[in-house]
């Protein structure tokens, strides 16, 4: 990694810690991991991965609960949406050349899945 990526990664870590203190723990994990590992050195693309892989499944789930008026969080639906969006966003980034090889694509998908599940389990315990 060159100096710029390290500086941007450190900024992402501090932004992630700040966002985590404000109640968004998924951001604390995924953006710094994507950038420090070199999977996705571009901060805006890392934020896009975070949004597609973590926030969007939660948003879809929240909309479903709003219409069904349910109070219990359905872990199966969250896992399914997290997996679908993680795979979709990682493969689309790979084919759009933001991620240079398949190994990095798999790492990005794993980080998204892990942080999405971690975010869900954290939110469930609140």
pLDDT value at 107 more than 70: yes
Q: Which domain holds residue 77?
A: 3-124
pTM over 0.85? The answer is no
Q: φ, ψ for residue 69 (rounded to 5)?
A: 55, 45
Query: Collapsing DSSP states into helix, strand and coil, what is residue 40?
Result: coil
If one counts the domains in the chain, the total is: 1
DSSP assigned state of 126: -
Write the CA distances from 7 to 12, 13, 42, 87, 123, integer angstroms. 9, 10, 12, 28, 30
Residue 103 has a pLDDT of: 77
48-88 residue pLDDT tens: 666 665 666 666 666 666 666 655 556 666 666 666 666 66
């Amino acid at each position: 990694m060159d100096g710029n990526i390290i500086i941007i990664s450190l900024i992402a870590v501090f932004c992630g810690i700040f966002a985590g203190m404000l109640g968004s723990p998924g951001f604390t994990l995924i953006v710094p991991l994507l950038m420090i590992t070199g999977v996705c050195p571009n901060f805006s693309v890392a934020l896009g991965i975070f949004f597609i892989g973590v926030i969007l499944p939660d948003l879809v789930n929240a909309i479903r609960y709003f219409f069904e008026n349910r109070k219990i969080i359905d872990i199966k639906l969250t896992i399914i949406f997290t997996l679908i969006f993680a795979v979709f966003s990682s493969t689309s980034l790979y084919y759009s050349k933001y991620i240079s090889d398949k190994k990095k694509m798999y790492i990005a998908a794993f980080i998204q899945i892990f942080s999405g599940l971690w975010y869900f389990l954290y939110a469930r315990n609140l």
